Amino acid sequence: MSQPATPARHPRLRALALLVPTLLLTACTSSTDTPRAATQPPADTTPQVTGPLCAALPTGTDPGNPTFLAGQPADQALRWIPTLTTFEAALRTSGVLTDLPAGTGLTILAPTDDAFAATFSEDNWDDLMTHHTDQLRTLLKAHLVSETHPIADLTTAGRATTLDGTTITVTRTGPTSRLGDRADTVCSDYQATNARIHIINAVLGPLPVTAGTGHRAH
């Protein structure tokens, strides 16, 4: 007796039967060979200031906090730091910052008000501000360094040359950095537009001083 004829498969069903194994193989290969991209947390861009004086200066959302100052021009940023009123006024009076080419990167070694009060008598400082602009500008340039340098970069280099042409040594001393044989950083790495600001506890520069002969008015 003759065998019954096997019914012919529909062409579409036959093509599908051939395609399924291929799809399964591709899916398995893709799932094992293609790693998933790791999700990285966003980088923290908040400026990190360091030093013993930082805790006494504006933080968080206080006016003059480091994050706010990072978006300010250097001259405006200095106005927001409450312990730099003398230095800021001297820079403004002398016009040193406005003489620099626009967009020039700058590192500012900014002495505190207490540093000026310990170095100059009231009469001496007022005379310098009023009658000796050239000497004042020279003094201020001893606190300015070309380009923006984090304090870690300065200590790694071991020296920095100020705009008055003086080369000072920079060494690490525990949580602070020593500038020459006179000043220590007390709050480093404020950022401003095209600038880094490092607050220091002594006045740099070669001008004669009159320490102990009076108190300078703030």
Residue 127 sits in a domain whose CATH number is 2.30.180.10
Is 96 domain-assigned?
A: no
Which pLDDT does position 57 carry in this prediction? 96
Is 16 domain-assigned?
A: no
Which pLDDT does position 174 carry in this prediction? 86
Which pLDDT does position 15 carry in this prediction? 45
Is 9 domain-assigned?
A: no
Q: Which domain holds residue 144?
A: 102-218
Which pLDDT does position 25 carry in this prediction? 44
Is 182 domain-assigned?
A: yes
Query: For the chain, how many structural domains are there in total?
Result: 1
Grouped pLDDT means (10 residues each) for the chain, 218 residues: 50 46 46 50 73 95 94 95 97 92 90 96 92 93 96 97 96 93 96 96 80 51
Is 58 domain-assigned?
A: no
Dist. CA 37–CA 111, nearest whole Å: 48
Which pLDDT does position 208 carry in this prediction? 64
Q: Which two tokens stand for residue 37?
A: 């991209």
In the block, which residue shows the tokens 């590192």?
107
Which pLDDT does position 107 carry in this prediction? 98
In the block, which residue shows the tokens 């013993």?
52
Which pLDDT does position 214 carry in this prediction? 52
How many Cβ atoms are within 10 Å of 83's Cβ, its own excluded?
Answer: 18
Which pLDDT does position 103 carry in this prediction? 78
Helix %, strand %, coil % of the chain (to 5) = 40, 20, 40
For 49, 84, 149, 211, 216, the CA distances from 46, given in Å and listed in that order, are 9, 22, 17, 38, 36
Is 175 domain-assigned?
A: yes
Residue 10 in 3-state DSSP?
Answer: coil
Is 35 domain-assigned?
A: no
Is 122 domain-assigned?
A: yes
